[in-house]
Amino acid sequence: MYISIADQTAVFLRSILFGAAVGAYYDFLRVIRREKRLRGLPTALLDGAFWLAAIAAFALFVLIVADGDWRSYVLVGLGGGLVLYFLTLSPTVLALLGAVLSALLTAAGWLVRTVLLPVRLARRACASRQVQKIIHKFRWKNLKKKLPFLRR
């Protein structure tokens, strides 16, 4: 099948953009790994997720953009896009994603603490001596005597 030089150039430029997108996805996962200080198995799972997504996306890219024809310049464009991204945009994107993820984690932590505040206060109140004395007075046996429907 014949493909014109203009079409080849368009596919090559799209593969460069695709390479940059793969690099941005890698940086996103790298920021998650850094912020959460992941080691061992979670890191391996994130790496596996990256490679599965990258391979699936590359297969779809070849099928949709390159019309299913395996062309060497597509792989060269992908590599070139990765190199260009990591040399130019990656430090800025890492800093920006790190700040955004840190802010999101801080906001989520604040939200969880706010939602769980009544639970913590109730737990602290139940732990006091006065409440324990009151609860101790109402034993299960006394409750059964007062409420006959609880008897067997």
Cα–Cα separations (whole angstroms), residue 16 to 84, 86, 92, 115? 9, 12, 19, 46
The kind and range of the H/E element at 45 are helix 41-64
Does 84 have pLDDT greater than 90?
Answer: yes
* pTM for this entry: 0.69
pLDDT at 90: 92
Residues 40 and 84 both lie in one domain? yes
Question: Could you tell me if residue 144 is inside a domain?
Answer: yes
Write out pLDDT tens, residues 27-61.
Answer: 999 898 888 777 888 888 988 999 999 999 999 99
Residues 74 and 111 both lie in one domain? no
Residues 108 and 82 both lie in one domain? no
DSSP state of 65: T
Decide which of 115 and 2 is more confident. 115
Residues 79 and 145 both lie in one domain? no
Domain residue limits at 54: 1-88
Q: What is the mean pLDDT of the chain?
A: 85
3 state DSSP class of 140: helix
